[in-house]
Structure formats: C-alpha cells, structure tokens
C-alpha cells in the first residue's frame, strides 16, 4: 500500500510484492519485484517486523536504480533473537549506508529489496520510506494540527533518571518503551535497551532495530516519514502512537527539555490548544517528562529539520 504526501514516500509491503524465493543451505532468499517511486528520491529506509527463535536471523538488503543502472545490494541490518547489528561502512558511486539509512549520491527512480532468513525467522511487516531529492518544507501546511484535541495517557520515564552509563543516549528506546507501555504492552526499559542495541555502531538509536524490537514484543511498528502535523489524526489514537525524531538550535523550541540538539526522539501523545503534547525523555525528572510544545516550532524541528522521520507503533 503506497502513500505519497508532498516530498515523502511511504510504502507498506505485502507478500504479493515478492517476485522470487529460493532456499540454499537452509537460508531462504526472498527478492521483491521492482518498485518505481513516484518521484526521484535521495534517501531510503527499509524497516521490518520479525519473529524468530533465538538462533534464527533476518538480513535486510536493498538496491536502487539510478538512470537505468542498478546498484548492488546494500546490507541494511542483521536482526536475530540474540542480537542486532548494522555493518561496517558501505559506500560506492551510488551512495552510502549511514547506519540505518541509505543516502544516495544521485536521485534514484526505483528500488528492490532482498531478504535472507534463517532458522525459522519470519517477517511480520515490511515498510519503506523515502525522501524526494527536491525536498521542500511548507510551514503553512506542515504546522496545521488535526481538528479538535486528543491526549493519550502515558506513564512518563526520564532517561536522565536511569542508572545506565549511556543514559544521555537512550532517548529512542525510552520513548518507544513509553509508547509500548501506553498501548498495554508491558516493557521494562532495562530489557528493551538490550533488545535495540546496535553492536556494530555502538548505539541505541538505530531506527530499524528499534521498530524491530517493538514488533517482536507484539506491536505493529515501522519507520515512517510525515509531511504535516495533520497526519497525526490517523496515527496518534487509543491504539496507536508516534515517536518523532527532532532537531533544533537554541531558542527554536520553547520549553524544551534540552536547549539544543542535532537529533533527539520524543513520544507524541496528542495535541491541544495549538500545542503538540509529548513525553520528552530528556527531562531531568519523570514529573517533567510530559510537556506541550508550540505546534509551529515542533513542526520545524521534526518535519523540516528531520524530514518527518518517526516510528509508528500500533497495538495489534
């Protein structure tokens, strides 16, 4: 199911998109048909939900077509019941893999994915999100809130109150943990940190691994990009929440938990009176986690500065 809004392209894949399946030495290889994008794109993220026994694994790969020439397949993530890992630097004339995102040197017009599965691993969902090579931000449209108001009850968690040595770098799993708990999927942050950790990059914020860990706990979760706050009406509800990636300079987001950041994640829990309601894990104490940010300022921090990158988390 494809969805195009402005300069963003989102696609939820189904089994009908598979063109070929083979099995060699116990490894199942699945290759999709070719997908032509509605516009040339400059970045690409492939995310997956999966379930697997402890010894099973899933390898995510994708290739792109630029001016009728195909790249090789880039490795975008290795998922297993025991660990998750990105890969050492991958770069060629077509582009490079920036941990969890394929960043292209020249706009591509089409893509194809390849999955390798072993040991009983199964894919439960597969999503692609891409950004136009000519990305443009329209504040008048982007900052428009959905009609009315909505507020999801969330139990706050402050990453800064954790005893973890990397507590300043765990905004992603902390936000996602709050989302899962709010949707009735009981999740302990300590356990979730281990489930999302990227052993190669040494980070907790790999987008692909975070949504995969959420999916393994029974949620439907994937990476998606948004173009306008008004889209939230379909994704922030009693059975669904959004974790947004934001970035801003000092003075650009009034009342923020941290003064400035090139990249931070917060849980969007609703909207009201011209404000976006969030749970910001960077607050020093849990009593300060639930906040309200100006819609226009938040839209710039998220939809402009981070091109609308987010995790969608739904209760199945």
The closest alpha carbon to 279, from 152, 161, 142, belongs to 152
The closest alpha carbon to 276, from 311, 241, 224, belongs to 241
Chain center to CA of 213: 12
Domains and CATH numbers, the chain: 2-136 (2.60.120), 140-315 (3.90.70.10)
Average pLDDT, the chain: 95
Residue 30's region, left for phi above 0, alpha for psi from -120 to 50, else beta, is beta
Quick one: tokens of 73? 């397949």
- For 300, phi then psi, to 5°, come to -65, -45
Lowest mean pLDDT: which of 75-84, 166-175, 289-298?
A: 75-84
Model confidence at 2, in pLDDT bands (50, 70, 90)?
very low
- Residue 1's pLDDT is what? 45
Cα-based distances in Å from 205 to 83, 162, 189, 246, 258 = 15, 17, 14, 13, 18
User: Residues of the chain with pLDDT > 90: what percent?
Assistant: 92
Model confidence at 3, in pLDDT bands (50, 70, 90)?
very low
pLDDT tens digits, residue range 190-233?
A: 999 999 999 999 999 999 999 999 999 999 999 999 999 999 99
Q: Map tokens 């000092």 to a residue.
A: 250
Model confidence at 47, in pLDDT bands (50, 70, 90)?
very high
Overall average pLDDT of the 266-295 stretch: 98
Overall average pLDDT of the 135-142 stretch: 93
- Residue 81's pLDDT is what? 78
pTM tops 0.85, yes or no: yes
Indicate the SS3 state at residue 119.
Answer: coil
Cα-based distances in Å from 29 to 18, 23, 46 = 11, 6, 16
User: Residues of the chain with pLDDT > 70: what percent?
Assistant: 98
> Is residue 7 scored above 80 in pLDDT?
yes
Model confidence at 6, in pLDDT bands (50, 70, 90)?
low
- Residue 92's pLDDT is what? 97
């Amino acid at each position: 199911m494809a969805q195009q809004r402005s300069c963003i392209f989102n696609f939820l894949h189904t089994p009908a998109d598979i063109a070929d399946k083979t099995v060699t030495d116990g490894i199942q290889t699945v290759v999709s048909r070719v997908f032509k994008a509605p516009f040339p794109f400059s970045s690409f993220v492939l995310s997956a939900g999966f379930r697997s026994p402890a010894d099973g694994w899933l390898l995510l790969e994708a290739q792109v077509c630029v001016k009728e020439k195909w790249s090789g397949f880039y490795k975008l993530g290795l998922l297993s019941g025991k660990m998750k890992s990105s890969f050492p630097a991958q770069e060629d004339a077509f582009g490079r893999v920036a941990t969890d995102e394929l960043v292209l040197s020249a706009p591509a017009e089409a893509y194809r994915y390849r999955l390798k599965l072993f040991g009983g691993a199964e894919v439960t969902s597969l999503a692609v999100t891409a950004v136009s090579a000519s990305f443009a931000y329209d504040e008048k449209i982007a900052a428009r809130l959905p009609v009315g108001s909505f507020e999801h009850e969330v139990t706050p968690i402050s990453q800064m109150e954790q005893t973890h040595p990397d507590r300043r770098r765990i905004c992603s799993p902390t936000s996602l943990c709050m989302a899962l708990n709010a949707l009735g999927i009981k999740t302990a942050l300590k356990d979730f940190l281990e489930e999302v950790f990227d052993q190669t990059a040494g980070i907790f914020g790999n987008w692909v691994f975070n949504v995969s860990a959420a999916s393994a706990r029974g949620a439907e979760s994937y990476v998606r990009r948004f173009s306008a706050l008004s889209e939230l009406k379909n994704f922030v509800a009693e059975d669904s929440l959004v974790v947004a990636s934001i970035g801003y300079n000092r003075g650009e987001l009034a009342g923020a938990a941290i003064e400035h950041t090139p990249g931070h994640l917060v849980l969007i829990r609703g909207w009201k009176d011209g404000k976006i309601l969030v749970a910001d894990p960077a607050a020093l104490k849990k009593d300060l986690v639930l906040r309200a940010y100006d819609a226009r300022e938040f839209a710039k921090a998220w939809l402009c500065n981070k091109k609308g990158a987010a995790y969608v988390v739904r209760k199945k």
